[in-house]
Chain A
Amino acid sequence: MSASSGPNGGGTTTLVVRVENKAGVLARVAGLFARRGFNIESLAVAPTEDERFSRLTIVVGVDAAPMEQVVKQLDKLVNVVEIRELNPSASVERELVMVTVQADPAIRGQILDLVRVFQATVLNVGYDEIMVSLTGSPSRVDDFEDLLRPYGIVDVQRTGKVALPKLVKSAPDPLAP
């Protein structure tokens, strides 16, 4: 079972769920989690390369229910085509955050230093606020947000995690049977 520490302190597991791209599918998945008492930490939805399907990346609080039940109940939904549990060590995870921070002209430079260090992006600048964004691993996004907090976060929006499995590094031995 793949598990890592989530924002609420408990363990989490990432499920990548391929579903039919039909009206109401998200409601079916969300409804299932609600009525079986499973806890969603974050959820990202987007179409896949094949327009018949969408991919949901769901981070589930594993403390909420036995993970096996979550997967089996999800699998019973007729519109769910495939479920993969992603182990953090065997996958690449990314999350995007947009943050608006208080930034008096006097301290704006300090924030821009952080933006440089994290290779983040400035999206918009106001007379006493600045909007920045960062794409990175969830822990890197956490760090960025923590470092900005003392300046006064006005607004923050995170996308929730998306993930794909890591690729195989060594090519197969052409001489292997």
Chain B
Amino acid sequence: MNMNGGQALMKALENEGVDLLFGLPGGAILPVYDPLIDSSIRHVLVRHEQGAGHMAEGYAHATGRPGVAMVTSGPAATNIVTPLCDAYMDSIPMVVVTGQVPYAAIGTDAFQECDTTGITMSVTKHNYLVTEAADIPQVIHDAFHIATTGRPGPVLVDIPKDIVDPNNPRSAMEWYTPDSHDLPGYHPNRAGDSELIRQAAKLVCEAERPVIYSGGGILKARAAEALLELAELTGIPVVTTLMNRGGFPDDHPLCLGMPGMHGNYTAVTAMQEADLLIALGARFDDRVTGKVAGFAPLAKIIHVDIDSAELGKVRRPDVAIQGDCRLVIEDLVKALGELGGNESQPDRNRWRSRISGWQERFPLTYEQSKDDELLKPQYVLEQLRDATPDDTIVASGVGQHQMWTSQYWKFNHPYTWVNSGGLGTMGFAIPAAIGAKAGRPDRMVWAVDGDGCFQMTAQELVTAATEGFPIKVALINNAYLGMVRQWQEMFYQERYSEVYLTRDVPDYKLWAEALGCVGLRVESPEEVGPAIDQANEIDDRPVVVEFRCEAGENVYPMVPAGMSNSDVVVDPSQQDRPR
């Protein structure tokens, strides 16, 4: 079938099962926006290219399917670099198509030209500069394969204008459906080595104080059920990193919650005291380990990851297994079964009672606001958690509100937590929530955002309003760049430098209304519940609820940067308790 490159691009995207495209047109990508009119793919018109990228990420987080964004060349391509890097750090499957100046003009500093593949080389799993229209079907097929297999990640496809422009003879091509991949150097590993899995099973059977350290790889591998089976078979407690909140249910008796810099005391301390860490799809990130030399000093390590470069990158494992988390866990469960299953596990009652002792002495806690005080953000999040359906999808920005949400929410289902972990991208929440809602219109989607974050990407609420994505935003307004303020309080002798954002400017209620949303403002604890109920009732447009919160609240527990996890600082009200 004869067609032009632009038509081929649309057909190739349709063939990959793409139903939604987040984008914004411009000069170099303009010819592709014509065949888009005749395509089955729905396009969501964003207000800033960064929004398109984060929406694609949110869509991928919530659905497991690759998110797709399409933008033009030059400044549009540079605007989407942040989402690419975010997706690279958090292993989010995403395909970004960028327009490029005509092939013959590349390298001439043409209008809206930039070296997109050069700029994005270090923030993508792979990228392409397509030079011939005839390459488009194969490149798109390969791009989706790379984005979604092995350790998932973002792939960028840069397409010069002339090969998609029907008015240019270089765009003429004959359609073909690729039936294989042209990737001689790409062999994503799947199953784990069975001998290594047997060795791991033996270590599990010998451990007296084991902890399962579960990371984002659980969700990427659709391994939540397998993890549950492993934990219940062995009775081993599970910590869920920031990237795996929801990958193991918070209401399960074996769940210890989030470890790390702002993890809860029990999760942090159980890892410190463990004699075996079973790391599943986790990468020993510095926010989890604290000072590496002092991290889990007594523990042997079983490390399972699809990316062999993670094995031994930070901590030398005793058993390193490269493979897909779901397949390896299933094989580990079988291997444990051969060793006697639950019968093979040593008596761990003493370990369990130490853990429950920590849980009793050091629960998450905060002081309720006094009469003359503004809201406590933790109180707002508890109210929101209790007033929303159990399978609500929560997206967050980055900072104190993100940590409180991860701490206080009860994540009982996988794929309900959408956040920026590795890159820590402020402004992630609103576009990511829109992407999640676009992918899961059946679910209630709340974005929990800070006032600093909100001001970075609020314009995408226009996209939500006009494209029909009725997300809800809980804006934790504490008038500060709160996490930076906390560090200046704790580590810079309360010398506050450039962290005050002002309390009343902008007027968030009016701004929300101007953006096409319902705007609500809450200042006292008794208004919190009714405002959330009101927001939950609204389903025909987005809602922004501004919660006016205390500025001086700190996130606890906290492991100060560079310190050992054994030096975790607990809430001031718990500091006299025996550890």
Residues of chain A at the chain B interface (Cβ within 8 Å)? 19-20, 23-24, 27-28, 31, 35, 52, 66, 68-69, 72-73, 75-82
Chain B residues with CB below 8 A from A78, complex form = 125-126, 146, 183, 185-186
- Knowing A24-B117, A78-B183, the reply to whether A72 touches B308 (Cβ < 8 A) is yes
Please list 25 pairs of residues, one from A and one from B, whose beta carbons are closer than 8 Å in the complex, sorted by A's number.
Answer: A20-B184, A20-B185, A24-B117, A24-B121, A27-B118, A31-B121, A31-B122, A35-B122, A52-B184, A66-B312, A68-B312, A69-B309, A69-B312, A72-B309, A75-B309, A76-B307, A78-B125, A78-B126, A78-B146, A78-B183, A78-B185, A78-B186, A80-B185, A81-B184, A81-B185
The residue of chain B having its C-beta at the shortest distance from the C-beta of A78 within the complex is B126
A51 smallest CB distance to B (angstroms): 13
Chain A residues with CB below 8 A from B309, complex form = 69, 72-73, 75-76
Chain A residues with CB below 8 A from B307, complex form = 76
- Knowing A76-B307, A76-B309, the reply to whether A27 touches B121 (Cβ < 8 A) is yes
Taking CB atoms and an 8 Å cut-off, the chain B residues in 125-172 that contact chain A are: 125-126, 129, 146
A34 smallest CB distance to B (angstroms): 9
Taking CB atoms and an 8 Å cut-off, the chain B residues in 382-437 that contact chain A are: none
Chain B residues with CB below 8 A from A80, complex form = 185
CA distance A82 to B129 in the complex (A): 23
Chain B residues with CB below 8 A from A72, complex form = 308-309
Chain A residues with CB below 8 A from B184, complex form = 20, 52, 81
Chain A residues with CB below 8 A from B146, complex form = 78
Residues of chain B at the chain A interface (Cβ within 8 Å)? 117-118, 121-122, 125-126, 129, 146, 183-186, 307-309, 312-313
A81 smallest CB distance to B (angstroms): 4
A48 smallest CB distance to B (angstroms): 13
By Cβ-Cβ distance, the 3 closest A-B pairs, closest first, are A72-B309, A81-B185, A78-B126
CA distance A79 to B118 in the complex (A): 15
Chain B residues with CB below 8 A from A27, complex form = 118, 121
CA distance A69 to B125 in the complex (A): 17
CA distance A31 to B120 in the complex (A): 11
Secondary structure at the A interface, as helix, strand, loop or mixed, is mixed
Which of these, B121, B312, B313, contacts A28 with CB under 8 Å?
A: B121
Extra contacts, 8 of them, besides A24-B129, A78-B183 (Cβ < 8 A), are A20-B185, A24-B121, A69-B309, A73-B309, A76-B309, A78-B125, A78-B186, A81-B185
Chain A residues with CB below 8 A from B183, complex form = 78
CA distance A31 to B183 in the complex (A): 21
Chain A residues with CB below 8 A from B121, complex form = 24, 27-28, 31
Chain A residues with CB below 8 A from B117, complex form = 24
Contact in complex: B308, A23 (CB < 8 Å): no
CA distance A103 to B488 in the complex (A): 67
Interface centre among A20, A23, A66, A72 (most CB of B within 10 A): A72
CA distance A31 to B117 in the complex (A): 12
Contact in complex: A79, B185 (CB < 8 Å): yes
A5 smallest CB distance to B (angstroms): 26
The residue of chain A having its C-beta at the shortest distance from the C-beta of B117 within the complex is A24
CA distance A90 to B122 in the complex (A): 34
CA distance A35 to B125 in the complex (A): 14
The residue of chain B having its C-beta at the shortest distance from the C-beta of A25 within the complex is B185
Chain A residues with CB below 8 A from B125, complex form = 78
Interface centre among A19, A78, A82 (most CB of B within 10 A): A78
A25 smallest CB distance to B (angstroms): 10
Chain B residues with CB below 8 A from A52, complex form = 184
Chain A residues with CB below 8 A from B118, complex form = 24, 27
CA distance A80 to B186 in the complex (A): 8
Chain A residues with CB below 8 A from B126, complex form = 78
Chain A residues with CB below 8 A from B313, complex form = 69
CA distance A82 to B307 in the complex (A): 17
CA distance A69 to B126 in the complex (A): 19
CA distance A66 to B121 in the complex (A): 23
CA distance A80 to B185 in the complex (A): 5
CA distance A27 to B146 in the complex (A): 20
Chain B residues with CB below 8 A from A31, complex form = 121-122
CA distance A75 to B122 in the complex (A): 15
A35 smallest CB distance to B (angstroms): 5
Contact in complex: B129, A23 (CB < 8 Å): yes
Chain B residues with CB below 8 A from A28, complex form = 121
CA distance A102 to B313 in the complex (A): 50
The residue of chain B having its C-beta at the shortest distance from the C-beta of A24 within the complex is B117
Chain A residues with CB below 8 A from B185, complex form = 19-20, 77-82
CA distance A141 to B183 in the complex (A): 39
CA distance A34 to B118 in the complex (A): 14
CA distance A23 to B131 in the complex (A): 11
Chain A residues with CB below 8 A from B312, complex form = 66, 68-69
CA distance A76 to B322 in the complex (A): 13
B345 smallest CB distance to A (angstroms): 33
CA distance A23 to B125 in the complex (A): 17
CA distance A68 to B308 in the complex (A): 10
The residue of chain A having its C-beta at the shortest distance from the C-beta of B322 within the complex is A72
CA distance A82 to B183 in the complex (A): 12
CA distance A69 to B118 in the complex (A): 23
Chain B residues with CB below 8 A from A79, complex form = 185
The residue of chain B having its C-beta at the shortest distance from the C-beta of A77 within the complex is B185
The residue of chain A having its C-beta at the shortest distance from the C-beta of B127 within the complex is A24
A138 smallest CB distance to B (angstroms): 28
A68 smallest CB distance to B (angstroms): 6
Chain A residues with CB below 8 A from B308, complex form = 72, 75
CA distance A61 to B214 in the complex (A): 35
CA distance A105 to B282 in the complex (A): 70
The residue of chain A having its C-beta at the shortest distance from the C-beta of B313 within the complex is A69
A55 smallest CB distance to B (angstroms): 13
Chain B residues with CB below 8 A from A20, complex form = 184-185
The residue of chain B having its C-beta at the shortest distance from the C-beta of A28 within the complex is B121
CA distance A75 to B313 in the complex (A): 15
CA distance A163 to B121 in the complex (A): 29
A36 smallest CB distance to B (angstroms): 10
Chain B residues with CB below 8 A from A75, complex form = 308-309
The residue of chain A having its C-beta at the shortest distance from the C-beta of B126 within the complex is A78
CA distance A82 to B186 in the complex (A): 10
CA distance A105 to B122 in the complex (A): 54
The residue of chain B having its C-beta at the shortest distance from the C-beta of A70 within the complex is B309
CA distance A159 to B122 in the complex (A): 28
B449 smallest CB distance to A (angstroms): 31
The residue of chain A having its C-beta at the shortest distance from the C-beta of B153 within the complex is A76
